[in-house]
Structure 1
């Protein structure tokens, strides 16, 4: 008997196959992106430190580069990037404007000084860490990415008036402090801070890369669904051989 697909199973199976294969391809694309990310982070974060240029910078050329900058912090304008953890402990990152003194024109940049627990959110609870005077910072550059898709659905909106930030929106932060910030922020690589907080060097070199496993999982599910679909439509043996109740002619 010829293969005759049924309407309802086909209407379900074909879109599901398209979705599963698309998810597998998407994970392969993410694999390439993650491998490039890890390569940049591991190579650039241990490269020679260079002086930070002025103005906005090209992401591809500068993200994760090690840089040095000297200036004065404005602790009264620090901003709090919420829902950041350290070794499983909940807390936030402290982002502090810094006026540069190592270049002419006194430009302002944003420095991610590191992690603090929620009970140290108030700067008055960590006075030793509020570095005064001229400070030199070495760290890596990060460029905020636009929040889109499902991330935008689940990520709360920033509340600048309440100093509650869920993503580092440079435009909104520039408006809050009244300064024209460049398109990046500097992650402080300080190993130790007086009074312990903020805890600097908030970047990881051991980034998980499970996208190949995810891709194989989606492709396996697509293959399994295709096999089930074919097996479901296989002609039964009785249909192939007749009904099995016939008698010989006498």
Structure 2
């Protein structure tokens, strides 16, 4: 009886191309995260220089706010707080409480400005009708998510002024530091590279097992 040789098994072309495309995409994302890491380091250095400056700048009322304004000293005239947005926060001694953020009217029209006038112990709005506020410009509490930025649906974020002197009955709010700016891009890059390596190794082992006679 004549035995016929089994046809030689070959690497699957289409699945291999799909896996290689996925691996290339993950590597590209890792490289992009490394680029973002360098950009974020430069941004943090800019913020640190801004914090070291004692001169004041004109408050940027219209978003988006340029990075050169953040963590600089400025002042605004709040004609009237039209809305209060209490949020959890800490004072400059590390005590927790409720940040009193006023959405202030600065003229007959316009977006107004956000002013953090201090930390309270409850959600009761302070009895404050407005006035001149001096403080530090920081990113506002409403920032677009990563997905919104990537998809182009991000609404320009407003800045906020944290008052140097709190209004009566409140404690001074802690001012965020430039060093608090998150920079996790190296970790994200390593994750993407590991995902790419794992996907490639798993696929190779799976195909080799399938090709065994």
**Contact persistence 2:9–2:211 (CA under 8 A):** no
Equivalent in the alignment of 1:78: 83
Aligned equivalents of 1:12, 1:236: Cα separation in 2: 17
**SS of residue in 2 equivalent to 1:43:** helix
The answer to whether 1:220 aligns with 2:188 is no
Structure 2 gaps of 5+ residues are: 1-7
TM-score scaled by length of structure 1: 0.56
Equivalent in the alignment of 1:122: 124
Equivalent in the alignment of 1:46: 52
Equivalent in the alignment of 2:134: 137
Q: Structure 1 residues 149, 232: CA separation in 2 closer, same or farther (over 3 Å shift)?
A: same
Q: Structure 1 residues 47, 7: CA separation in 2 closer, same or farther (over 3 Å shift)?
A: same
Aligned ranges for residues 144-223 of structure 1 at < 5 Å? 147=144, 150-151=147-148, 184-190=158-164, 192-197=166-171, 199-205=172-178, 206-223=180-197
Task: Quote how far apart the aligned CAs of 1:203 are.
Answer: 2.2
| Aligned with 1:112 (options 107, 111, 115) | 115
**Contact persistence 2:83–2:103 (CA under 8 A):** yes
Equivalent in the alignment of 2:5: none
| Aligned with 1:94 (options 81, 95, 101) | 101
Cα shift readout 1:90-113 (whole Å, capped 9, x = no counterpart): 86651331548xxxx999841331
**Contact persistence 1:24–1:219 (CA under 8 A):** yes
The count of residues paired between Structure 1 and Structure 2 equals: 198
**Contact persistence 2:47–2:70 (CA under 8 A):** yes
**Contact persistence 1:28–1:211 (CA under 8 A):** yes
**Contact persistence 1:38–1:207 (CA under 8 A):** yes
How large is the Cα RMSD of the aligned pairs?
Answer: 4.6
Equivalent in the alignment of 1:176: none
Structure 1 gaps of 5+ residues are: 153-166, 171-182, 240-250
Q: Structure 1 residues 116, 53: CA separation in 2 closer, same or farther (over 3 Å shift)?
A: closer
Larger Rg: 1
Task: Quote how far apart the aligned CAs of 1:44 are.
Answer: 0.7
